[in-house]
Amino acid sequence: MVQHKLIAAALTLALAPSLGLAEDLVYLTTEEGEDRFIGTELKRDYFSLASYLEYEEIQTFCGPATVAGVANSLNIERPSPDRLYPWKLFTQDTLFNEANQKLKSFAMVEHEGLTLAQLDTFIENLGLVAEHHFADETSVDALREAIKTALSDRNTRFVANYSRKALPQEGDGHISPVAAYDESTDTVLILDVAKYKYPPVWISVQKLHDAMMLTDDASDRSRGYVLVSAP
């Protein structure tokens, strides 16, 4: 029995580099994650995003949940849902205006989510400005600069479309906003809209790029990111 355990442990160590180490993830809810957040300078977006970020109502609604939080964090006119009248707020269901229903209906998004290009158009149909970039056309250095530039601009948000497999976390394609960057560790803070699964997490820019490089089967392209801003 002891020999079997030793063999299993050796195999785990041998496979770890190729599978990725979960220890590379630093969750915001840990002391290390908190200290990193307190110490970093590029974190202004966190406050507006965290104030409005909600969890995905359906497990394929990471896109709509992210878009609702991002839209509410920017200075644009909001809709007035019947159940919240007279207050105004973007919610995951109010995002499906006529243009977005034509792009991809509520039922289809519920079934298969949104690709990177669809996410871009989905955002633009709300009156926001969106610019998407595929990871296979973006170097790690360019990704880092895009993150830093977006986080330095009060009017811009950075939305990541990546695969959890590369982190590694359970699941595959996912969409969530980036809320902070720490220069000393070269890590970004992802605010996960699947709050029932994972809290916000710090990962390296390299790991984020790796996670964006994995193919989205729905589009047969790499994943990537969207820069979102108010018009």
Tokens of 98: 């006529």
The answer to whether position 8 is within a domain reads: no
Tell me which residue range forms the domain holding 215: 21-229
State how many domains the chain has: 1
Average pLDDT, integer, range 185-214: 97
The CATH number of residue 104's host domain is 3.90.70.30
Distances, alpha carbon 228 to alpha carbons 11, 66, 137, 181, 193, in Å: 44, 11, 19, 17, 17
The reply to whether 139 falls in a domain is yes
| Rounded distance between C-alpha atoms, residue 29 and residue 34, angstroms | 7
Task: For tokens 């709300």, name the residue.
Answer: 126
For 75, phi then psi, to 5°, come to -85, 75
pLDDT of residue 154: 94
Q: What is the mean pLDDT of the chain?
A: 90
User: pLDDT tens across 8-62, in order?
Assistant: 333 333 333 333 345 689 999 999 999 999 999 999 999 999 999 999 999 999 9
Which candidate, 224, 203, 215, places its Cα nearest to that of 120? 224
Neighbour tally for 36: CB within 10 Å: 20
State how far the Cα of 97 lies from the Cα of 150, in Å rounded to an integer. Answer: 27
Burial of residue 14 (number of CB atoms within 10 Å: 0-12, 13-18, 19+):
exposed
In a domain, 153, yes or no: yes
With vertex at residue 22, the alpha carbon angle to CA 172 and CA 63, rounded to the nearest 5 degrees, is: 30
1 within a domain of the structure (yes/no): no
- Does residue 7 lie in a domain region? no
| pLDDT tier for residue 164 given thresholds of 50, 70 and 90 | very high
